[in-house]
Amino acid sequence: MPVPGIPILEGKYPSTMDLYPLEAKEFNRVHQFYENLRQKRFTTTKCKKCGHVPFPPRVVCPECNSEDLEWVDLPTRGKVLRFTEEVAGVPLGFDSPLIHALIDLGDGRKFVSRIINCKEGELKEGDEVQLAVFDVPPMIIEKKGVMTEAERVFFAFEPSKAEVK
Amino acid sequence: MPERNVCIIAGGMSKWGVREASIIDMAQEAAKECFDDIPALKRKDIDGLLFASSYCGRRSFQVNIAPVVAERIGIKPTSMCTRVDTLCAGGSSGIILATGLIKSGIADVVMIAGGEKLYTPQRWETYYSELASIDHDWDGAQGMGLPPPYFSMTAQEHMKRYGTTKEQLWAVSVKNRRNGSTNPKGHFQKAVTIEEVMASRVIVPPLSLYDCCPITDGCAAVILTYAEKARELTDRPLVYIRGSAQAALHSMSINWPGEHLADWLHMRTAAKRAYEMGRVGPEDIDVAMTHDCFTISEIVEMEELGFCKKGEGGPFVESGQSDFGGKVPVNTDGGLLSCGHPFGATGIRQAREILQQLQGRAIRQVEGAEIGLTHNLSGLNVEHTILIYGREP
Ligand SMILES: [Zn+2]
C-alpha cells in the first residue's frame, strides 16, 4: 500500500539510496569502465609504467603510484566454482531467485558475481557463464537548476548460450 | 612517563533485541549498567569517549554521534570524543584505539561504547541498508550486501573440502543458544534442540535459520584505564589488554586473500600478530569469544585461531572441545547466534564477557580463566580483529 513517504522528497533523487554507482563522468573518474560495458567489454586499468592490472579499475596505480594508466580487456567468460541461490528475503531491487557465483575468470582472478537469466536449480558447478550487460535507472544530475538524466548500465554474468568455437 | 599497562575495568549492555528505543536511548542504558558496574568511578572521571557505530548515519540520520552520546549520558570528554566504524568490529577497534591512547598518555580514562538501531519503521529499509555494508560500487551493486548467500558458499567449500557436516554446524548453534539462555541481555533466552535446528526453515542452503545470527538493536559500553588508576577504582582482579591486531588484506570479493573461501589468511595474519603481542599461543587461551555470525564462521575460526588443525573445526565443535569442559569454551554468553549482532556493540559485548570471566563473575563461569580472546570479522569477511586479555599485563 502506498504511504505518504517524505513529502518534501517527492520527485527528488536521493543518491545516497541509489543501489548502483554514480557512474556519470561528473561524479566518477572510472566512468570509462561503464562506457566500455556499454560496448559489452569488461575492462580495467593497466599501469603503463609497471604493468600492474588491478581490479576494480583505479585512477592511480597502487603498485608504483603512476597515473599513466590504460584500459585493457578482461575475460568475459568464466567457470562456476561455487554458487548460492537465495529464494526468500531478497533485498529490494533484486528478483528472486537471487543467484551469486564464485567464477574462475581463467586469468588468475576469481570473481563473485550475480547470475541472471537463470532459473532456480538450473546452474551447476563447472558451468560456463558469460558477461551480461543491462540498463539500470538513470542517475539525475542538477545543472544550473535543470535536471538531466544520465543513462546507466550495469553488469552480471549469465549462463553461456553457446560455446565459443 | 613510563609506558602504562591498560586495563578494562567495567562493562555494561542495554537489552538487545527488537527494541522500542532509539540508539541514543540504548546508549544511555548501556552506559548506566557500565557505571553501576564500578561505583567508585564518577562520570567526571571519564576524559575520553569512542563510540562505535556503522549505521547511525544511515538508519538514525546522525553522523558525528559521539558528542551526542557524551551529552546524553552526562560526560564531558576532554582528551578524545569520536566515532569509530569497522562495521562488525567497530567496538573492538575502539578498544584497541583506546588502549593506544591510554598507553601513550593522550587519554587516562576512556569509555568505549557502541551500537546500532538496525530496525527501521519500514522493514525494506532494514534489509536494503545492508547493501551499504560492503564495497558499494562493485559488490553492493551485485546485491551481495545480505551476508547469508556469501557465507553459504563458505559453508559449501568447507563441507566439500573437509567433509564438514550439517550436524557439526548445528552443534555450534545448540551450544551458543544454550549458553545464551541464561544471559538476560541477549536477543534470545531460549535454548534449542538439535531437532528444532534441523527442522528450521532454510535461509540459503546449506544454512538454515539457526545457522544465522539475527538482526538486532542494542548498545554496549566498557571503560578502560591504566593499571594504577584501575587499582584506585576497584578491588576486583585487574584485567589487562595484552595484545591486539586488525588485518584488512582486501575489500572487494575478487581480491579474496585465501586459497579458497574456507581459507582465512587474513584471520591467521591477525591471530599471529595478536598472539605475539600478547606473548601467548592458542594453547594458553582459557575462554574465547569468536565471531559466530554463522555457525560455519565459528568452525573456521577454531582452525584459524589454532585451536585445532585446518579442516578439523567440524569434529572439534561436535565433540564439545569448544564447550564447557572442553579445550576452550567459546562464546560463553551466547555469542552472536544468541545475543544478536548490533555491529558496533559486538566487540564491546565480547570484552564485557571476557572481563567478567577473568574476574570470576560471569553468569556461566569458566573455572580459573586467566587468559581470554575476542575476535570479529567485518562485512563479507574483509577484516579480522583480535584482542587478547589477561590477568597479568
Ligand atoms: Zn604501476
Q: What percent of chain A has pLDDT over 90?
A: 89
Write the DSSP assignment of B54-114 as a string of letters: SSHHHHS--SS-HHHHHHHHT---SSEEEEE--GGGHHHHHHHHHHHHHHHTS-SEEEEEE
Measured CA to CA, the distance from residue A62 to residue A45 in angstroms comes to 11
* Of B389, B300, B312, B307, the residue nearest B352 (C-alpha): B389
Cβ pair B352, B91 in contact under 8 A:
no
B94-121: average pLDDT: 98
* Residue A162 pLDDT: 61
* Chain B residues lying within 8 Å of A16, measured CB to CB: 58
* Residue A80 pLDDT: 98
A131-144: average pLDDT: 97
Q: Is B88 a catalytic residue?
A: yes
Measured CA to CA, the distance from residue B24 to residue B18 in angstroms comes to 15
* Residue B2 pLDDT: 72
Residue given cell 553492493 in the structure block:
B140
Nearest Cα residue in chain A from B145: A91
Flag whether pLDDT at A1 surpasses 90: no
Question: In Å, how far is A102's CA from the nearest CA of chain B?
Answer: 8
Would the CA dihedral through B118, B121, B127, B131 be positive or negative?
A: negative
Domain layout of chain B by residue ranges: 6-123+217-233, 145-213+241-390
- Distance (angstroms) between ligand 1 centre and the Cα of A41 equals 23
Flag whether pLDDT at B1 surpasses 80: no
pLDDT tens for each residue of B9-44: 999 999 999 999 999 999 999 999 999 999 999 999
Its CATH class, for the domain covering B6-123+217-233, is alpha beta
* Chain B residues lying within 8 Å of A94, measured CB to CB: 143
* Chain B residues lying within 8 Å of A19, measured CB to CB: 131, 140-141
Exactly one of B7, B56, B81, B88 is catalytic; name it.
B88
- Distance (angstroms) between ligand 1 centre and the Cα of B186 equals 50
Would the CA dihedral through B192, B194, B200, B202 be positive or negative?
A: positive
- The residue of A9, A42, A102 whose CB has the most chain B CBs within 10 angstroms, and thus the best one to mutate to test that interface, is A102
Cβ pair B338, B180 in contact under 8 A:
yes
Q: What percent of chain B has pLDDT over 90?
A: 98
List A residues 17-76 in contact with B (Cβ-Cβ < 8 A): 17, 19-21, 55-56
Q: Is B213 a catalytic residue?
A: no
pTM of the model: 0.97
Q: Do domains B6-123+217-233 and B145-213+241-390 have the same CATH topology?
A: yes
Cβ pair B320, B297 in contact under 8 A:
no
* Residue A89 pLDDT: 81
Flag whether pLDDT at A88 surpasses 90: no
* Chain B residues lying within 8 Å of A135, measured CB to CB: none
The residue that leads in pLDDT, A162 or B242, is B242
Calculate ∠ Cα B59-B63-B65, nearest 5°. Answer: 100
**Chain-wide mean pLDDT for chain A?**
95
A12-31: average pLDDT: 96
Would the CA dihedral through B323, B328, B333, B339 be positive or negative?
A: negative
Does A6 contact B at CB distance below 8 Å? no
pLDDT tens for each residue of B150-205: 999 999 999 999 999 999 999 999 999 999 999 999 999 999 999 999 999 999 99
Question: In Å, how far is B135's CA from the nearest CA of chain A?
Answer: 10
B350-375: average pLDDT: 98
* Environment of ion ligand 1 (residues, CB < 5 A): A 47, 49-50, 52, 61, 63-64, 66
* Residue A2 pLDDT: 82
Flag whether pLDDT at B254 surpasses 90: yes
* Chain B residues lying within 8 Å of A20, measured CB to CB: 141
Does B256 contact A at CB distance below 8 Å? yes
Question: In Å, how far is A120's CA from the nearest CA of chain B?
Answer: 12
What dihedral do alpha carbons A106, A110, A112, A117 form, nearest 10°?
Answer: 10
Let me know if domain B145-213+241-390 sits in CATH 3.10.450.350.
no
B243-251: average pLDDT: 97
**Chain-wide mean pLDDT for chain B?**
97
Flag whether pLDDT at A165 surpasses 50: no
The residue that leads in pLDDT, A47 or A92, is A47
* Residue B3 pLDDT: 84
Report the Cα B70 to chain-centroid distance in Å.
22
pLDDT tens for each residue of A57-85: 999 999 999 999 999 999 999 999 999 99
pLDDT tens for each residue of B327-357: 999 999 999 999 999 999 999 999 999 999 9
Exactly one of B158, B266, B291, B341 is catalytic; name it.
B341
Domain layout of chain A by residue ranges: 7-41+76-164
